[in-house]
Structure 1
Amino acid sequence: MTLRYMIIGAGGTGAPLGAFLAKNGADVTLIARGAHLAAMQEKGLRFEQSDGEIWTVPVKAFDMDGFLAAKAQGAPSPDVIFVCVKGYSLDDTIPFIRSAAGEKTVVIPILNIYGTGRTIAGAASRSARDRRLHLHLVQSRRSRRDPSVTARSSA
């Protein structure tokens, strides 16, 4: 079984995660907006490593409404959702997660803000009456930058 990954927020955290998954053959969909979304749809995702290597990988990219439209037409739900939005966007992202996720989707928040896991888990438990949403929460108290990889995505 091939896992289907979704990354919500294709910025400084989500773009490198999506780029490496796609480069290694994973079924990955990025959720973005604006000019960055248009650039990924047209040109793929460009990645610059700290060693100077630059590469571009084609990716599936949608805005939230576009993905939900595709799902309504039969596109499958992701098996794993990485939530990589900024903390202030989390409240607007939760309804999309509820709609995009399948019954057994695993949601992994990767945000540098305290309390993110509790916020998502609380929203999921409130929606549990509608359907089951399994959450595996990964949080870190401290964020350390790995100097060996500097990722930048470009529009």
Structure 2
Amino acid sequence: MRFVIIGAGAVGGVVAGRLAGSGADVVLVARGAHLEAIRRDGLLLREADGDTRHRLPAYPAPAEVGWRPGDVAVLAVKSNDTQAVLEQLPRDVPVVCLQNGVANERAALRLFPDVYGICVMLPSAHLEPGVVVAQCAPVPGILDIGRVPGGVDDTAREIAAHLVKAGFVAEARPDIMRRKYTKLLMNLGNAVEALCGRVDGIDEVAALLGAEGETVLRAAGIAYATAEEDRQRRGEILQLVPVAGQMRGGGSTWQSLARRTGAVEADYLNGEIVLLGRLHGVPTPANETARRLVVDAARSGTAPGALSPSQLRAAIDDVR
């Protein structure tokens, strides 16, 4: 099995480095300055116990990989880039969605028979070209996997075994999308953190978005794991630690604003709740407002933390 990891950013890069360090065959697809740095210097993985550099084949597009039997396409791009990636893949390759949100698997199933979802619990960072940071130790993350729409097969078990060998906690689970909907509810707060920064008061605003999301999922008849199930799965596994003397700055959306990428995936996180709300007649003012504001912030190059929690709450109240 060869892992073709498409999107070597925070999550994809940490998984790639860990897999390569455990002896797995890994190929990267990246772009821009990040691709140039990887090709020149290798992928630098920073962890609490030191740095490792992995010199891996890296390409600018999936079409240039040179696909062969046994390859697995691991999508680690933001959801807004998924469709463009899928259109470049061989139609017989297994597709693994190492991504937040729940829309990626649906998009892949339109084109591919063998689709797998991973519930990503992997605090990580990518803020400079060629460098990714694993922010938990001694276990870097929890990466449960399953077939979509449900079930477990030999491919899922083999991928889980590779992830375990690479140091992750991972299990093949038949109800992976149920787990991913729970992670979606958690990721609704990404927009709040990015807009307001990591300050007092963001938890209360994020809770509004989460409660709205739960109401929508219940109206849509979509199953998700309970908060207690999620707590039991996480346990004490994920322990944030300083890396190179620094603690975690923020999540994926925060990092997108910090890096001035021009885009965030809020349309596929908060926007998923907005979509389901419209389909099932449930108002979603909190998620729609957060989605709109963080997308506008990304497009305008606004840095994280430009709004206070009270300002964001007022903007939500204005549209209720």
TM-score where L is the length of structure 1:
0.72
Q: Distance in 2 between matches of 1:119 and 1:149?
A: 35
**Correspondence 1:68 to 2:63:** yes
- The alpha-carbon deviation at position 149 of structure 1 amounts to 7.0
**Which residue identity does 1:23 align to in structure 2?**
G
Q: Distance in 1 between matches of 2:19 and 2:242?
A: 16
**After superposition, where does 1:35-74 map in structure 2 within 5 Å?**
35-49=33-47, 51-64=48-61, 68-69=63-64, 71=66
**After superposition, where does 1:3-152 map in structure 2 within 5 Å?**
3-49=1-47, 51-64=48-61, 68-69=63-64, 71=66, 76=68, 79-97=71-89, 99=90, 103=92, 105-124=93-112, 133-138=113-118, 139=177, 140-141=180-181, 142=183, 146-148=238-240
**Which residue identity does 1:117 align to in structure 2?**
E
Q: Distance in 2 between matches of 1:136 and 1:114?
A: 12
Q: Larger relative CO (CA 8 A, sep 6+): 1 or 2?
A: 1
Q: After TM superposition, what 4+ stretches of structure 1 lie above 4 angstroms from structure 2?
A: 148-152
* 1:24 to 1:149, Cα distance in 2 relative to 1, 3 A: farther
The residue number in structure 1 matching 2:138 is none
* 1:53 to 1:60, Cα distance in 2 relative to 1, 3 A: same
TM-score where L is the length of structure 2:
0.37
**Which residue identity does 1:17 align to in structure 2?**
V
Aligned sequence identity (%): 26
Q: Distance in 1 between matches of 2:65 and 2:102?
A: 33
The residue number in structure 2 matching 1:128 is none
* 1:35 to 1:78, Cα distance in 2 relative to 1, 3 A: farther
- The alpha-carbon deviation at position 52 of structure 1 amounts to 4.5
Query: SS at 2:45's partner residue?
Result: strand
Q: Distance in 1 between matches of 2:84 and 2:68?
A: 22
The root-mean-square deviation of aligned C-alpha atoms, in Å, is 2.7
Q: Distance in 1 between matches of 2:242 and 2:14?
A: 9
- The alpha-carbon deviation at position 21 of structure 1 amounts to 0.9
**Which residue identity does 1:68 align to in structure 2?**
A
**Which residue identity does 2:58 align to in structure 1?**
A
8 Å contact from structure 2 (residues 35, 58) kept in 1: yes
Query: SS at 1:136's partner residue?
Result: strand
**Which residue identity does 1:16 align to in structure 2?**
V
8 Å contact from structure 2 (residues 39, 57) kept in 1: yes
8 Å contact from structure 1 (residues 82, 110) kept in 2: yes
Q: Distance in 1 between matches of 2:77 and 2:8?
A: 8
* 1:59 to 1:121, Cα distance in 2 relative to 1, 3 A: same
Q: Unpaired runs of 5+ in structure 2?
A: 119-176, 187-233, 249-320
**Which residue identity does 2:33 align to in structure 1?**
A
8 Å contact from structure 2 (residues 59, 65) kept in 1: no
**Which residue identity does 1:80 align to in structure 2?**
V
